[in-house]
Amino acid sequence: MIEDRIKWNKRYLEGRESALHVTLTRFYNLASPGKALDIACGTGETSIFLAKKGFKVDAFDISDIAIRKARQRARREGVKVNFKSVDAEKFSYGVSKYDLIINFYFLNRNIFSKIKRSLKQNGLLIFETYNEEHTSVRPDFNPRYLLKKGELERVFRDFLLVYYCEVSNITTLVAKKP
Ligand SMILES: C[S@@+](CC[C@H](N)C(=O)[O-])C[C@H]1O[C@@H](n2cnc3c(N)ncnc32)[C@H](O)[C@@H]1O
């Protein structure tokens, strides 16, 4: 959506940078080395981390400013990542394409089935974002972008659960496609 692009571009122009998440460093090596997809990658720290670990990484974000910063960072750090500026609902996910898909701090329920399809058999999904308890920390946060408690576990119940954690306002799921 154009409003999302405008909102996020403004944040990235103001200096926002995305972060490397402990959950990624803890679990990425459960995936077979191969192709990885970083959904809503922001300024690309996670994508670059995976590229350095030997994955061939596709990564996208709606913010062209974030993608520009991500490309600059990758160039500086001497790694190749296939960055794209595109809406999550318009990205071509493909079928049985990825060994690893990561989704950090982004929620669009319309892509759940695409994530499932685009993982290879035995492919690993690492998904972490805020849940509905987040409104106790940030009352102004749009509830549409917050997981219900137990939601990820229900949505990916056909996957093999590796790790699931709902500590206060954050939900983490690590699971393999059977
Ligand atoms: C909270 S940031 C998370 C960035 C990164 N994944 C991280 O964990 O640091 C949310 C990201 O989602 C992106 N985003 C928002 N709406 C989007 C959409 N419709 N399609 C793709 N990316 C979107 C934003 O530009 C932003 O980079």
Q: Please tell me the predicted confidence (pLDDT) of residue 59.
A: 98
Q: Say how many domains are in the chain.
A: 1
| Ligand 1 pocket list (CB less than 6 A) | 1, 4, 8, 18-19, 40-42, 61-63, 66, 87-88, 104-106
Q: Along the 178 residues of the chain, how does pLDDT read in single tens digits?
A: 789 999 999 999 999 998 899 999 999 999 999 999 999 999 999 999 999 999 999 999 999 999 999 999 999 999 999 999 999 999 999 999 999 999 999 999 999 999 999 999 999 999 999 999 999 999 999 999 999 999 999 999 999 999 999 989 999 999 999 9
Q: Please tell me the predicted confidence (pLDDT) of residue 1.
A: 78
Question: What is the residue type of 80?
Answer: K
Ligand 1 mean position to 106 CA, how many Å? 5
Q: Please tell me the predicted confidence (pLDDT) of residue 91.
A: 98
Structural domain of 149: 2-176
CATH number reported for the structural domain that contains residue 127 in this entry:
3.40.50.150
Give the sheet arrangement for strand 56-61, strand by strand. Answer: 82-85, 56-61, 35-39, 98-104, 119-130, 170-176, 160-167
